[in-house]
Homo-oligomer: A and B are copies of this chain.
Amino acid sequence: MPSDLGHALLGLLARRPSTGYELARRMQRPVGFFWTAGHSQVYPELARLEDDGLVEHDEVPGRGPLPTKRYRPTAAGLDALRTWVVADLAPQPVRDLEVLRLWSLWVVEPEAAAGLVERVRAGHAERLAAYEADLASLAGDPAALEPDSPAFASRLTLEGGRLTRRAALEWCDLMLAELRRPR
Residues of A within 8 A of B (CB): 4, 7-8, 10-11, 14, 31-36, 78, 81-82, 84-86, 89, 91-108, 110, 112-113, 115-116, 119, 123, 126, 147-150, 152-154, 156-157, 159-161, 163-164, 166-168, 170-171, 174-175, 178-179
Contact = CB atoms under 8 A, between A and B. Distances in A.
A93 B164 CA distance: 15
A32 B95 CA distance: 8
11 contacts: A7-B100, A11-B104, A34-B103, A85-B107, A86-B115, A89-B119, A92-B123, A99-B160, A147-B179, A163-B171, A164-B171
Contacts of A147: 105-106, 110, 113, 178-179
Total identical chains: 2
Contacts of A102: 153, 156-157, 160
Contacts of A89: 97-98, 101, 119
A100 B8 contact: yes
A15 to B, nearest CB: 9
